[in-house]
Structure 1
Amino acid sequence: MKWIHIPIPSTSALRALVTLTRTGSITGTAEALSVTQSAISHKLKALEEQLGFPLIRREGRGVRLTERARQYISEIGPALEVLARASQTQALTGSLTLNVASGFAASWLAPRIGGFLAKHPGVALRINTPRGYGDLGARRNDLYISFLLPDEVPPGSTKLVDVGFFPVAAPSMVGGQMVHDATALTRFPLLHLDNRQDWQRWISAAGSTKTPDAGVVFQDLQIMEMAAKAGQGVSLGDRLTSRAAMERGELMQVHPFELPSPRAYWLVHGNALPSESARAFEAWLLAEL
């Protein structure tokens, strides 16, 4: 077969063009690829000259891909995916054990874990949960996502999420309306986690002198949330663990005050040197957050 030698654009220029379709801006593309804006502009200009047709049009301070550029990207996209797969280093294998705070595991990680496994199907993943807040044990697991106080955080850890608490309940319990008086809120059945100090701290911080009446104390966050969704009382939620239920309309925030927690979610490494699987999970986690 007689081959026709046609110059092939550089993969870095093609990558810049494809990334531009996702970010929608030169600035965003430069940030995504960790290069300067001028470098992106230079790559796109050189690619235009090589292809012989314009790729972008200026619109105010932004840019817009031309129709011909969109068509070109749709044609080269599959080829780039094949090239990327063929150029990948050896797929990750082995085991990875995570120790994840139950609230974070159930509300954030569980619905997303398939995304990590799709990228690294060779990793055998195990997820444990700690016995209590701040429990890192002997740090024998590979990675920990823990709900820690500042003085519990080991050196080298990465803060993931700050947390603030606010009252949540089934909309039917409060007629779908906010209860702006913190004292009035105590007339509802209150659901507690671990002890009754959680509500006492929130009520005092919200400006009320009322002492909350006795209510059911739960040891498990998910069970308490189930009770709240079933209309059994008002619990304290947060943006992370209550988000899905609030988006589905099963829970609603019933008072505007949000009390910052002294604890935050942190990513902590185990005592052993991090494996490639652990590094891959950390990178995936931070990108998702």
Structure 2
Amino acid sequence: MSIPSTSALMALLTLARTGSVTATADALAVTQSAISHKLKALEEQLGFTLIRREGRGVRLTERARHYVAEIGPALEVLARASQTEAVSGALTVNVASGFAASWLAPRIGGFLAKHPGVVLRINTPRRYGDLGARRNDLYISFLLPDEVPVGSTKLMGVGFFPVAAPSLMGGQTVTDTAALSRMPILHLDNRQDWQRWLSAAGGAADDGVTQGIVFQDLQIMEMAAKYGQGVALGDALTSRTAMERGELMRVHPFELPSARAYWLVEGAAPLSDSAKAFSAWLLAEL
């Protein structure tokens, strides 16, 4: 069985996508002459014409288009298999606790299945925006705009809204912020979270929020809310699973966009192959 070279096949697939020998050469970082030679050799091996001149450009023949449709998926499988074998080594990712528990933990097995040679360690920061000396390979951090290092990639923004156990609310939502603020309130880090939300929602910023438990850990606060201990501020990322299970419900329609967002930040050292693979997997999943 005669199998064409993968470089020639990639040249053909890229030409099918770009429609130009010049653009294909640029995409593959080779000369136009090299692309022409690869395509000519591929035609001789396959025994049929691949391209026809059309003005200043080229187009694939009908048979070539069918061939591309057949080999495209096969090359993707080959690329994934080759990457899985190639990527290995230790990788430490520092992940904001909310993102780690709500988004990463249910999916991390997919990355390890794709890259079984990677030895992965997940750290969590002591506080929001804590990048330290950036000694870890990668960071998924909940950062303010002025905390974001140059070259970072924004993953997602979030907005905050009140959530509580259906048993606490009797299954009913509220629209009156004054009534909401008279309920048991659960805070994260400090009481400014509810003050900002109430003020933006049209209520009094200090109405009823000077009381209530202050938590330092998002998951512990969410657990207290699930058990009906009070109303907390949740978001579509960290509260999604609990709401889908009926453990929490959204109790007010107003959502306050967070000044912070989740960012992918590189460590101080040059990226390893395993860090590059994790970044690519993460962005593809998101």
What is the distance in 2 between the residues matched to 1:283 and 1:82?
Answer: 16
Unaligned runs of 5+ in 1: 17-29, 56-71
Look up the match of 2:257.
260
RMSD: 3.3
**Counterparts of 2:218 and 2:84, CA distance in 1:** 41
Q: Contact (CA 8 Å) 1:159, 1:264: kept in 2 or not?
A: yes
1:285 aligns with 2:282: yes
Aligned to 1:226: 223
Amino acid at match of 2:17: V
| Contact 2:183–2:230 (8 Å) recurs in 1 | yes
Q: State the distance in 2 between where 1:181 and 1:191 align.
A: 18
Match of residue 237 from structure 1: 234
Distance in 2, Cα, partners of 1:273 & 1:161: 24
Give the 3-state SS of the residue equivalent to 2:258 in structure 1: strand
Matched residue count: 245
Matches within 5 A, 1:40-55: 45-46=62-63
1:185–1:230 distance in 2 versus 1, CA, 3 Å: same
1:192 aligned residue: 187
The equivalent position to 1:35 in structure 2, one of 17, 20, 41, is: 17
The correspondence of residues 153-172 of structure 1 with structure 2, limited to 5 A, is: 153-172=148-167
Q: What is the TM-score of this pair, normalised by structure 1?
A: 0.74
Distance verdict in 2 for CA 1:98–1:233, change over 3 Å: same
Partner of 2:143: 148
CA distance in 1, matches of 2:95, 2:249: 26
- 1:216-254 CA-partner distances (Å, limit 9, x unpaired): 111100000001111111100011111111111111110
State the Cα distance separating 1:280 from its structure 2 match.
Answer: 0.7
Q: Tell me: CA distance 1:37–1:237, structure 2 relative to 1, closer, same or farther (3 Å).
A: farther
- Structure 2: state its 5+ residue gaps: 25-58
1:249 paired to 2:266: no
Alpha carbons 1:186, 1:213 under 8 Å: kept: no
Q: How far has the Cα of 1:213 moved from its partner?
A: 4.5
The one-letter code matched in structure 2 to 1:194 is D
Residue 195 of structure 1 contacts residue 217 of structure 1 at CA under 8 Å; is this kept in 2? yes
Secondary structure of the equivalent of 1:105? helix
Give how far 1:46 is off: 2.2
The partner residue of 1:207 within 202, 211, 221 is: 202
CA distance in 1, matches of 2:16, 2:202: 47
Q: Deviations 1:99-146 (Å, cap 9, x if unpaired)? A: 111111111111110111011000000000001011111110000111
Residue of structure 2 equivalent to 1:61? none
Displacement over 4 Å in runs of 4+:
10-13, 36-39, 47-51, 79-90
Distance in structure 2 (CA, Å) of the matches to 1:199 and 1:45: 63
